Copies of this chain bind each other. A is one copy, B any other.
Amino acid sequence: MAGSKLDEIDRKILAELQADGRMTNVELAKRVGISAPPCLRRVRTLEEAGYIRGYHADVDSRELGFEVQVFAMVGLVSQAEADLSVFEGKCRDWPLVRECHMLNGEVDFLLKCVAPDLSTFQSFLTEELTSAENVASVKTSLVIRCAKDVPGVPFEVLEERVRQLERGL
């Protein structure tokens, strides 16, 4: 099962770097309770194994002038794999689309979009998204406010889960 090859120190490293990705290695080593060299080796291993995909500054999009955030629910005409891939490729090319998730249920895709203002978004919506080949329907909802936006996963839940698994060895 996934995650089973990580020990407690690895999970603490991931939790710390998820909370503060610019932490120095010596500070990280101090927090997880080992010295710097093995700590750095573990971080490199976690990066190469794909547990850590990268590090990003979390920029404030509204401060930067992207005042509009929109979720778009997209239905397609054809859900054949080739047609899904074509649509996903377009989403990757559209800079205003930041996330593209394929869902089960009534709607095929959920897109998270940002834009500097409503008219920019409307141009994108009418000229690109809605008029794209194979798109059957688009329903959009403006984000009024964001009450929570934390990255990654809840490590508390992971730890609890590990403890349960250990009890059931």
A20 touches B103 (CB 8 A): no
Q: Does A82 contact B (CB under 8 A)?
A: no
Contact pick for A64, options B3, B61, B62, CB 8 Å? B3
This chain's copy number in the assembly: 2
Shortest CB distance A123–B (Å): 12
Whether A97 pairs with B63 at a CB distance below 8 angstroms is no
Residue contact A146 to B101, C-beta cutoff 8 Å: yes
Q: Is A92 an interface residue (CB 8 A)?
A: yes
Distance in angstroms from A147 CB to nearest chain B CB is: 4
**Is the pair B55, A100 in contact by a Cβ cutoff of 8 Å?**
no
Cα(A103)–Cα(B107), bound, Å: 17
- Tell me if B60 and A50 are in contact (CB < 8 A): yes
In the complex, A54 Cα to B146 Cα: how many Å? 17
Query: Known contacts A21-B22, A65-B158: does B99 contact A148 (CB below 8 Å)?
Result: yes
Report which of B21, B51, B65, B88 forms a contact with A1, defined as CB distance below 8 A.
B65
Tell me which residues across on chain B come within 8 A of A17, comparing CB atoms: 56-57, 59
A91 at the binding interface (Cβ < 8 Å): yes
Question: Which residues of A85-122 are within 8 A (CB) of B?
Answer: 88, 91-92, 95-105, 107, 109-110, 114-116, 120
Given contacts A58-B53, A59-B18, contact A141 B99 (CB under 8 A): no
Chain B proximity mask over A120-154: 1 for CB below 8 Å, otherwise 0: 10000000000000000001011111111111111
What's the minimum C-beta distance from A7 to chain B, rounded to whole angstroms? 13
Contact of A102 with B144 at beta-carbon distance under 8 Å, contacts A20-B54, A60-B53, A156-B95 already known: yes
Question: CA of A154 to CA of B94 in the docked complex: distance in angstroms?
Answer: 10
> Whole-angstrom distance between the alpha carbons of A49 and B18 in the complex?
22
